[in-house]
Amino acid sequence: MKKILITGGTGFIGRALTARLIAENNEVTILSRHPESVHKMDLGGVKTLGSLQQLGPEDTFQVLINLAGAPIFDKRWSEARKQEIRISRIQLTEQLITYIEQLTVKPELLISGSAIGYYGDQGDDILTEQTVLPAIKPDFSQQLCQDWEAVANKATQFGVRVCLIRTGLVLGSGGGLLQRMLLPFSLGLGGRIGNGKQWMSWIHLHDWINIAEQMIADVSMSGAYNATAPKPVTNQEFTQTLANTLKRPAWFPVPAVLLKALLGEMSALVLGSQRVLPERLQAQGFQFKYTQLGEALLQIRQSSIN
């Protein structure tokens, strides 16, 4: 049993992770500005914390899991919204580093969120943790991930093991981008986005949670890891596989020019291409349960029906 503090514990990934950790008899505390949202999760034994300022130097956790951040796809990216997204991730991570610095007994591990947006739009290039990125000005999400990781890595100066989890498109029931896609696809109104050639690097929610658990258990793990299934697909393949799973056609492509008009800069999230492989996870011996997109979508579909 470990004492674990989670930020972002009420989000799509955080809820599922918290449930698993509680089920395995860990002592979990969720840091949230809205404790009532934690209570609604109805998970026995979860503690809540409104602010890190409530903790003293003697209050410590063995593991910190940092997933907090304003939703990146909920609103069009005005300059104010982009600033809100940055502050919600980077400022809280800085506060965690300050908390660690003040502790009498340091945590063993900090797992800090990131995303494959770290790599930017790289077309058909295969991307691993060892990829050297071209020396061009990063886009918003790329700069955000790079700055977020840089702050989290400051914990290493206090002897804390740091694992950065570069998350792809997380597939699971009850949330995430897939939840947004289900209605139009269920109505037969789905289709590829743009030319459909952009790569989508995905991961099943269960595998993501297993990665986090392996990071906790395996003290040899540190640094950045791509949390993506080993077989990324193009948007054309993704949309066709989703339509097949739902037994619906996929006849309504969304033109790139329309998305750019509707979403502005945020359209890069769905038109950009990241062909990401989990090289370091596989070298570490991690075994993915879901490597084929069709199998993952079918399991999610069945679990939502049952």
Interval 154-168 mean pLDDT: 98
**Whole-number pLDDT of residue 44:** 76
**What pLDDT is stored for residue 118 in this prediction?**
96
The answer, yes or no, to whether residue 304 has pLDDT greater than 80, is no
Q: Identify the pLDDT of residue 137.
A: 82
Q: What confidence score (pLDDT) does residue 37 get?
A: 76
The model's pTM is 0.95
Which residue is it, tokens 């300050």? 98
pLDDT digits (tens, 9 = 90+) for 110-130: 999 999 999 999 999 999 999
CATH of domain 3-305: 3.40.50.720
Query: Which pLDDT belongs to residue 111?
Result: 98
pLDDT at 178 over 90: no
Please report, rounded to a whole number, the percentage of residues in the chain having pLDDT higher than 70: 99
Residue-wise pLDDT for 83-107, tens only, equals: 999 999 999 999 999 999 999 999 9
Per-residue pLDDT tens over the stretch 41-80: 777 779 898 888 888 888 889 999 999 999 888 889 999 9
Q: How confident is the model at residue 305 (pLDDT cuts 50, 70, 90)?
A: low
What separation in angstroms does the CA of 13 have from each of 177, 268, 273? 12, 23, 23
In this model, does residue 306 exceed pLDDT 60?
A: no
The percent of residues above 90 in pLDDT, for the chain, comes to 73
d(CA 242, CA 267): 21
Looking at residue 43, what is its pLDDT? 75
> Given this model, what pLDDT does residue 153 score?
98
What CA–CA distance (Å, rounded) separates 271 from 121? 9
164-170 mean pLDDT: 97
Mean predicted lDDT score pLDDT of the chain: 93
Tens of pLDDT, residue by residue over 221-262, are 999 999 999 999 999 999 999 999 999 998 899 999 988 988
